[in-house]
């Protein structure tokens, strides 16, 4: 496990259920996965910051986003080392590295060693777990 954010957000299950949509709750709190190619963020091209949908923690800059062809928004690095935490995930009969929000522990997705340089990493994130805060100040919604 990596990351250490001193401003951790801790809420009860009932509070998370009240604040998140059913799909956001399923993905972020129950470690679910959205259907591939279902997120509008897959084709999002605006500049800005991708933040955690649950707590607003800055996670990824738009200039680290790339088209991986995987069906989920992909990034080659987080905005800072403590923006996300890594956790071993042996579900689905395979070993993977789960990525969670460094501030509220929301499940975001997984990281794989098949991304572009300079990191060689592919942070494969659920669009449901992210919200774009566009640089132009417009709403993150399309």
Catalytic residue numbers read 124
- Of 110, 33, 124, 3, whose CA–CA distance to 75 is shortest? 124
36-67 burial, b at 16+ Cβ within 10 Å, e below that, comes to eeebebbebeeebbbbbbbbebbbbbbebbee
Spatial contact of 22 and 29, defined as CB atoms under 8 Å apart: no
DSSP 34: P
- Of 23, 70, 1, 45, whose CA–CA distance to 135 is shortest? 45
- For residue 136 the two structure tokens come to 């132009």
């Amino acid at each position: 496990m990596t990351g250490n954010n001193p401003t951790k957000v801790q809420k009860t299950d009932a509070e998370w259920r009240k604040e998140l949509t059913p799909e956001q709750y399923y993905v972020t709190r129950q470690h679910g996965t959205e259907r591939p190619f279902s997120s509008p963020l897959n084709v999002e091209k605006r500049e800005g910051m991708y933040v955690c949908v649950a707590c607003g923690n800055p996670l990824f800059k738009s200039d680290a986003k790339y088209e991986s062809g995987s069906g989920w928004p992909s990034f080659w690095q987080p905005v800072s080392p403590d923006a996300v935490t890594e956790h071993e995930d042996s579900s689905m009969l395979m070993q993977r590295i789960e990525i969670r929000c460094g501030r509220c522990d929301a499940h975001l997705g997984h990281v794989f060693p098949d991304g572009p340089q300079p990191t060689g990493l592919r942070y494969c994130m659920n669009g449901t777990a992210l919200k774009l805060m566009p640089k132009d100040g417009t709403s993150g919604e399309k």
